Amino acid sequence: MKINKEELSRFKTNVTYTTGYRIVYYYEKYHEVPQGFYAKNLEDFANFFTNNKQYVSVKDVLEKFLEENKTALGVAIYDVNQNCIDKLVRPKVNKINDSEVYKEELIYDMNYVTVKTGYRIVYIFKDGSYKIGMYAETIEEFMKEFAPYEPIDEFCEIPKFISVDDLLNRYLEDCPDIAGIALYSVDGSLVEQKNRELYNAK
User: Dihedral sign, CA of 17, 19, 25, 29?
Assistant: positive
pLDDT of residue 152: 75
User: Cα angle vertex 38, ends 36, 40, to 5°?
Assistant: 145
0.85 surpassed by pTM: no
pLDDT of residue 136: 96
**pLDDT < 50 stretches in the chain:** none
pLDDT of residue 7: 94
Beta strands in the chain (DSSP E): 10-16, 21-26, 31-32, 38-39, 74-79, 84-89, 108-114, 119-124, 130-136, 180-185, 190-195
